[in-house]
Amino acid sequence: MKQLVSGRRLAGIATAALIALAPAAARAQDFINVLTGGTSGVYYPMGVALSKIYGEKIPGTRPTVQATKASVENLVLLQQGKGEIAFALGDSLDAAWKGNEEAGFKSPLKKLRGITAIYPNYVQIVASKESGIKTLADLKGKRLSVGAPKSGTELNARAILAAAGLSYKDLGKIEYLPFAESVELMKNRQLDATLQSAGLGVASLRDLATAVEIVVVEVPAAVVDKAGPPFVKVSIPANTYTGQTAAVPAAAVLNYLVTHEGMKEETVYQMTKAIYDSLPDLAAAHAAARSIKLENALEGMPLPLHPGAARYFKEKGLKVGS
């Protein structure tokens, strides 16, 4: 009899434990941590908007937003399972998938899976007018901020400068600073120029242009061609920033939203659907989101799509690779 009672008691304890664990497991799967970038960039406000969209449109989810050092850190965190969706630049994403150590990836990050291409990052090189910088060649001997170390922006800086026949050694001083800090140094005349890879109208450069007279430095088509993919030729429209009265040729590289292979297909399907059902909300968060188009969703995707994203795009009639 004692053995029977003891057995029932153990069974009861086991059942209670399972009941206690089940909601915890469900809750863990409900988290959607959105990995973004610095708060003065484009990733962060767009990530905040995305988090709100997910909270409203995907029942049972508890989205959070994490400010980071952007692309490289985001991809490493995803590989470690410390996030569910992340923003990343195309060249960083390609380097992560291949395991480019110089770009900050000691081995290939093979758990990563693509969701969608979003908007282009414009490589925007902005100098103070008093620095005398008008061309890329004028950067020689000058003080330049190239973004956080091994960030997507810094990788862009290396590529564009190299294509223009320049290296960091040619510059007077290099600062590895986030956007807002770079702008503060320029306001204080401690920097001559800043290179920021971001959506058009990024808050940091708008702030700079209202504080000091600026020159948006041209990246000629020949330099973009020499840099090669994933860079494309674009133009920064006139009056994007105060005092910028003419359009300026520039380089751009696509941004992507990425997840990892451990995410459930249905969850990623709902996440992808919510993005395209809510484009006006994303555009309200930042003008860069106006460039997000369903027909461009798979453009240049350098790694496999997550099955959940693939299902959504197939439903929408896009040709998804096997």
Under the banding of pLDDT at 50, 70 and 90, the label for residue 102 is confident
**Beta strand pairing status for 143-145 and 31-35?**
unpaired
- Dihedrals phi, psi of 14, to nearest 5 degrees: -65, -45
Q: How far is CA 7 from CA 17, 97, 242, in A?
A: 15, 52, 77
Is the predicted pLDDT of residue 232 greater than 90, yes or no?
A: no
Q: How far is CA 25 from CA 18, 22, 28, 29, in A?
A: 10, 5, 5, 6
Q: How far apart are CA 132 and CA 155, in angstroms?
A: 25
| Residue pLDDT, tens place only, 43-94 | 999 999 999 999 999 999 999 999 999 999 999 999 999 999 999 999 899 9
H/E segment holding residue 196: strand 193-198
Domains and CATH numbers, the chain: 34-118+255-315 (3.40.190.10), 121-253 (3.40.190.10)
Under the banding of pLDDT at 50, 70 and 90, the label for residue 26 is very low
| Residue pLDDT, tens place only, 149-165 | 878 899 899 999 999 99
Is the predicted pLDDT of residue 28 greater than 80, yes or no?
A: no
